[in-house]
Amino acid sequence: MAAFPHKEPRTEAFASVHTGEQLEQLSGIAARQPYVSQGPWLTAGSLQLLQTAAESGRLGRFGIAGKAAELDQLVSAGLLTDKGKLTGQGRLVTSPWRDSVASLRIAAQFGGRASVFQAWLGPEGCLVLAGPSYDRFLAGNSQAGHQLDFLALGHLYPAIAAWVGIAPAWSLASEPLSIDLQTVNRRFGGETVPVPEGADPVLVNMWRQPWFIWQLLVEPESGHPETFINAGESGHYHLAVAEDRAQLNARPSGALYRDLARAIDRAVHR
């Protein structure tokens, strides 16, 4: 039988005051569940080398000439031999490049800096290349490069959830507000942009959070990608755009997770 603590939990200040209910603190959870991968960090040069090797099985003498540092990363990761030939592991990990049923790409930005998460879904597993994740940007620790991983399909769901920072948050209803798209774009760029006129307290609070903006593209299939904003303690928002106006609509984290899960499922069972 569980021993319940005596103390009442901390409450989420804004959400509790706004709703008049005792709402437990949820902010801070995202930072405690980072994107975790055991895979190696690769530079753009190493990645290019790996792609060339994956296409032809090996890099020729000329392929590796002058690229000792790039080759070294791949040899240390167990993907290539020091002669530039794919290892068994290297063949398995890169197999989705040759034989993928679908691929997905999440393009993100935070404070004007970009990152990307890519996954190629193959019969043997998913090849993942992950740039800096939400938690790294939040912690100011967004090193360049891509972390390579090879995951079973089931592991892709929490990996993406962690990468974009899906976590519990109090998604509060707000009054719809039509905002000039240019204003939103400047806010995307990380500039200090005043809160749009007519914003209610929920939108004001959301506007002041750090924003991690992302779009999901699934190949083949995708139409126009949807834009989502991870607005920290304010939760997640979908950006609805019509011509030069935009509207920010709360998207509860559970619903957003299902958007992602359905996108993966559709890609796999197409």
Partner 1 sequence: MTASGPEDCPVETTNDIRIPCPAGWSRQRTEGTDLVLLAPPAGNGAFRPNVVVTSQPYDGSIAKLSTFAMAAAIAELDRAHLIACNIWPHPAGNGRQIEYTHQLGNQVLHVQRWTFAVNGRAVDVTATCAATQLTAFDELFGYLAAKIEFRRAG
> Cα(248)–Cα(229) distance, rounded to whole angstroms?
9
Q: In sequence order, which residues have a C-beta less than 8 Å from that of residue 242 and are 6 or more positions away?
A: none
Rg (CA), the chain: 21
Cis before 252? omega within 30: no
Binding track, positions 135-164, relative to partner 1; x by CB under 8 A: -----------------xxxx-xx--xx--
CB of 241 to partner 1, least distance (A): 26
In sequence order, what are the beta bridge partners of 86? Answer: 80
Question: From CA 39, how far away is CA 230, in angstroms rounded?
Answer: 25
Check residue 198 for interaction with partner 1 (CB under 8 A): no
Which C-beta is closer to partner 1: that of 49 or that of 256?
256
Give the nearer residue to partner 1 in terms of CB position, either 73 or 171: 171
Distances (CA, A) of 225 to 64, 108, 160, 190: 38, 12, 16, 21
Q: Which stretch binds partner 1 (CB under 8 A): 2-10, 50-58, 59-67, 77-85?
A: 2-10
Q: Is 265 one of the binding residues for partner 1 (CB under 8 A)?
A: yes
Write out the two tokens for 269.
């069972």
User: Which residues, 30 to 59, sit near partner 1 by CB under 8 A?
Assistant: 32-33, 36
Kindly state whether residue 166 participates in binding partner 1, applying the rule CB under 8 A.
yes
**Residue 220 contacts by C-beta under 8 Å, 6 or more apart in sequence?**
102, 270
Q: Which is nearer to partner 1, 54 or 130 (CB)?
A: 130
Two structure tokens written together for 198: 């007519």
Q: How far is the CB of 172 from partner 1 (least distance, A)?
A: 11
Which residue, 163 or 188, has its beta carbon nearer to partner 1?
A: 163
- Structure-block tokens of residue 160: 């993406």
Contact flag: residue 8 with partner 1 (CB under 8 A): yes
Q: Which is nearer to partner 1, 33 or 100 (CB)?
A: 33
Among residue numbers 236 through 255, which ones bind partner 1 (CB under 8 A)? 252-254
Using alpha carbons, list the distances in angstroms from residue 196 to 8, 14, 188, 203, 246: 37, 19, 14, 9, 12
Q: Is residue 123 part of the contact set for partner 1 (CB under 8 A)?
A: no
| Cβ atoms of 87 and 96 closer than 8 Å | no
Q: How far is the CB of 185 from partner 1 (least distance, A)?
A: 29
Please give the residue ranges that form the binding site for partner 1 (CB under 8 A): 1-2, 4-5, 7-9, 11, 21-26, 29, 32-33, 36, 152-155, 157-158, 161-162, 166-168, 171, 252-254, 257-258, 261-262, 265
